[in-house]
């Protein structure tokens, strides 16, 4: 067991290997294994080739012995005789590294000539012998030494009789194995040269193939913590392009988050400076007694309320960006949220004396949307507040299904959108604050809808419609599974 819970398994060691080392191992190890197997196979083939070459010599020696056999009549019997001087076999011995032994057996299995302790043949002639003769080749042992055996069934016939003699010739294997080793060494020299060439080529190819990876590593390592520009590596291998694309996507998100943070700090410092300066002036004026105390407190309370609303909306804008980075948002019932907000703002609607209509479809069926409940509440609340603040007498809220989308429409009969504001409609602090707004409500709505992959638009109906005013329309994709 390793100390400190450190994992020292083979997967960890393999993970520490460089890409170059993995490529080299992945290529050279199979090549070396193949060369080793090929060497063993070549040695076996060399032995077979040597056996085929020297088996001919064994057969020739057996046939030369067969030519020395003759029949002799002894009384009423015909006996087979063999006169085989060992000098007759010396012509078949290539050098002193090999020895030949033989045994000649008569018609009745009697020993006629040769080495009596040479094991007798117990096999059978193959159905398709390799040569035009009744011959069998096999490996055996003689005097504790491995030998190659050739057995020839030699017919012997004359005018006095006929029969089948058995001739066995054995040869030691030193010469065969020496020839096989020589053939193997010659082949291995070629194999070794081939492996050396493969190693050099693989090293060169791997070095060139991993050069873009090393340059990419050096480029990323040379960056400081403030550099979030995309990585530009057109010469990187195709296999690295998905990794580069994913890294650039992460950097883009980090850059966007950093820009959002900088913008939030800049806007917060800029926007909160004004109400705080106004509050300071109001407090100083109240302390000097320039205005009556009650009037001064009312002015201070209005300034504090405006600053509080501004701070809350800026925090909401920052929270939207935080939710944007999160994945797998839960499924929420947008219809229930719209209904709850309508009840919550009913007092404000009644105070304005508005003609209010809420349309959630038949039986208020659930409208499942994959979004955090806070985001849907903030989106709907800001749009409702904006409509209540600008409408004159009419306020309509409708939530419906259309082509796999949830569509929220908030209609008012207010003055609509000024032409000068259309181009900057959803930018922070760009809306008119004449009605008491902070200029952040529509920006928050836009950021929420974008984070949910939806679409928002404000449609100025104009004089062509029966009722002038503005339609705020939000479209969000319906979730696959129903909302709780």
Please indicate whether residue 2 or residue 427 has the higher confidence score (pLDDT).
427
- Indicate the pLDDT class of residue 224, thresholds 50, 70 and 90: confident
Asked if the model's pLDDT at residue 239 lies above 80, the reply is no
Give 166-188 as a DSSP string: EEEEEEESHHHHHHHHHHHHHHH
CA distance 23 to 201: 12
CA distance 315 to 290: 35
Residue 98 vs residues 63, 116, 174, 436: alpha-carbon distances, Å? 19, 20, 6, 116
- Indicate the pLDDT class of residue 5, thresholds 50, 70 and 90: very low
The pLDDT tens digits for 333-344 are 999 999 999 898
Domain residue ranges in the chain: 8-222, 240-321, 331-477
The pLDDT tens digits for 369-401 are 988 888 888 889 889 988 888 888 999 999 988
Average pLDDT in the chain: 78
Pick the CATH number of 331-477 from 3.40.50.300, 3.40.50.720, 3.40.50.450, 3.30.565.10: 3.30.565.10
pLDDT reported for residue 435: 47
The answer, as to whether pTM is greater than 0.75, is no
CA distance 432 to 456: 19
Asked if the model's pLDDT at residue 272 lies above 90, the reply is no
In 10 A of CB 428, how many CB atoms? 22
Distance of alpha carbon 194 from its chain centroid, rounded?
33
Asked if the model's pLDDT at residue 409 lies above 80, the reply is yes
Asked if the model's pLDDT at residue 419 lies above 80, the reply is no
CA distance from start to end of the chain: 48
Q: Look up the CATH number of domain 240-321.
A: 1.10.287
């Amino acid at each position: 067991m390793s100390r400190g819970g450190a994992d020292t398994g083979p997967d960890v060691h393999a993970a520490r290997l460089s890409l170059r080392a993995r490529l080299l191992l992945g290529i050279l190890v199979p090549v070396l294994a193949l060369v080793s197997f090929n060497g063993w196979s070549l040695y076996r083939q060399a032995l077979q080739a040597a056996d085929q070459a020297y088996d001919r010599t064994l057969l020739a020696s057996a046939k030369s012995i067969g030519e020395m056999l003759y029949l002799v009549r002894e009384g009423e019997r015909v006996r087979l005789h063999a006169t085989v001087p060992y000098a007759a076999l010396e012509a078949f011995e290539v050098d002193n590294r090999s020895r030949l032994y033989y045994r000649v057996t008569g018609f009745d299995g009697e020993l006629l000539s040769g080495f009596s302790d040479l094991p007798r043949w117990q096999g059978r002639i193959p159905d398709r012998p390799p040569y035009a003769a009744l011959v069998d080749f096999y490996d055996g042992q003689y005097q504790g030494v491995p030998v190659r055996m050739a057995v020839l069934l030699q017919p012997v016939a004359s005018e006095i009789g006929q029969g089948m003699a058995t001739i066995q010739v054995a040869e030691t294997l030193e010469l065969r194995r020496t020839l096989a080793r020589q053939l193997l060494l010659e082949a291995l020299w070629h194999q070794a040269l081939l492996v050396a060439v493969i190693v050099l080529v693989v090293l060169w190819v791997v070095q060139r193939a991993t050069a873009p990876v090393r340059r990419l590593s050096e480029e990323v390592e040379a960056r400081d913590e403030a550099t979030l520009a995309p990585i530009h590596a057109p010469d990187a291998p195709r296999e690295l392009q998905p990794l580069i694309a994913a890294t650039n996507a992460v950097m883009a998100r980090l850059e966007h988050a950093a820009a959002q943070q900088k913008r939030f700090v800049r806007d917060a410092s800029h926007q909160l400076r004004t109400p705080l300066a106004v509050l300071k002036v109001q407090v100083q004026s109240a302390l000097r007694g320039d205005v009556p105390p009650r009037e001064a407190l009312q002015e201070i309370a209005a300034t504090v309320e405006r600053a509080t609303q501004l701070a809350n909306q800026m925090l909401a804008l920052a929270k939207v960006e935080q939710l944007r980075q999160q994945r797998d948002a839960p499924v929420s019932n947008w219809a229930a949220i719209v209904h709850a907000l309508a009840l919550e703002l009913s007092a404000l609607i009644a105070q304005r004396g508005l003609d209010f209509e809420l349309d959630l479809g038949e039986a208020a069926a659930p409208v499942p949307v994959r979004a955090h409940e806070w985001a849907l509440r903030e989106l709907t609340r800001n749009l409702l507040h904006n409509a209540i603040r600008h409408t004159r007498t009419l306020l309509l809220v409708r939530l419906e299904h259309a082509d796999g989308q949830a569509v929220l429409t908030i209609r008012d009969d207010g003055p609509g959108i000024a032409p000068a504001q259309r181009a900057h409609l959803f930018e922070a602090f760009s809306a008119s604050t004449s009605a008491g707004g902070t200029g952040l409500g529509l920006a928050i709505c836009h950021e929420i809808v974008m984070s949910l992959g939806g679409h928002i638009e404000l449609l100025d109906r104009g004089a062509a419609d029966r009722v002038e005013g503005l339609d705020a329309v939000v479209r969000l994709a319906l979730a696959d599974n129903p909302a709780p």
